[in-house]
Structure 1
């Protein structure tokens, strides 16, 4: 059986922290940005952690 290939589309969007959690960028950052408040855009710049239910669903796509 051949090796599993890493889904590069997911690998480009996810960074794994030291404790094994997945760090992702926030959505809603660039499209229609002029209508969003400065506070909203500032908070969207920060990365967030992926929910563990999504992480368990997608973990077999990220073979590292």
Structure 2
């Protein structure tokens, strides 16, 4: 069986923290920011820890 390749899209979106968990950015911060309040934009800028249900799939995508 050949070696698995890293999925480049996942590599760009997720970072490993502590060897077990992953961190990601929130959605809805790319454009249309004029109508969003400063409080909402501040909260969208904060990184989030990925849920345990998604961690296994991301680990397979990143081949770690």
Q: Same fold (TM over 0.5)?
A: yes
In the TM superposition, residue 30 of structure 1 has moved relative to its aligned partner by 2.0
Mapping of residues 3-22 of structure 1, within 5 Å: 3-22=3-22
Moved over 4 A (4+): none
Q: Confirm or deny that 1:32 pairs with 2:46.
A: no
1:51 corresponds to: 51
Give the aligned length: 64
The alignment's TM-score, normalised by the length of structure 1, stands at 0.88
For structure 1, the 5+ residue unaligned runs are none
In the TM superposition, residue 20 of structure 1 has moved relative to its aligned partner by 1.3
For structure 2, the 5+ residue unaligned runs are none
In the TM superposition, residue 59 of structure 1 has moved relative to its aligned partner by 2.2
